[in-house]
Structure 1
């Protein structure tokens, strides 16, 4: 019996592929929102037939219990077609990586490096180019140290 040892670079590539698979699909665009002045972000993306968009976020926020934070995402075909709006709950993701939550009776602090939200768009029927706008909206005042939205295939 022969024992084969993978070169160290083979292990590194295998580990990278595993982590990338856990972190969702291919990154397409990242909206980074400035905590000082939250403004809508905009981008244009082409999706091929059958593709869908996944929405991920990264945040570090502090808020009062009962506060909601959503991303309102407008998706409009460039050529023709009906506009869509996707609303994603930023504080209730399905999967988080490197997360921390601290709760007290008067405030909650949440932080994570990456989180997949429970919303998506697609699959699209034909290859199309879309204008995409995104805006985070909180139901009450909130302190944000970091807030971003990532679009992935």
Structure 2
């Protein structure tokens, strides 16, 4: 029997952002077009991600990044980075350095009903110093309970 793979929320965020960021010269999407983050509630986090992606993928804008510059390469600072614990803080700090457009975000696991909840006092996955740094630097904090309509997508029928 094939193993069912469940995509963790952090990967869902990164995958959605990667799809947006990797799209070659994608224009800013209108409300009438398909929503690439349809599992998200409307709010600051979703808005800031889509605005950033629009800026870096629209030719002629000051922050435009050519498709080759949107691909993750070891040793190159990413233009979009997410973390979800204090263990990711140094990666986020390093990613924030350098010139050019940058988007830094944290996924705050606040939804114990649909996943796990952990933050400042958690014995695992602690998110304390990174939350403070995000507040100081203006990084986007994605609150799972508030910002996501769907945490885990519905299971697909076998063979699809």
TM range (shorter): under 0.3
Provide TM-score, normalisation by structure 1. 0.25
The higher radius of gyration belongs to 1
The structure with the largest strand share of the pair is 1
Q: Which protein has the bigger helix share?
A: 2
Which structure is higher in RCO with an 8 Å CA cutoff and minimum separation 6? 1
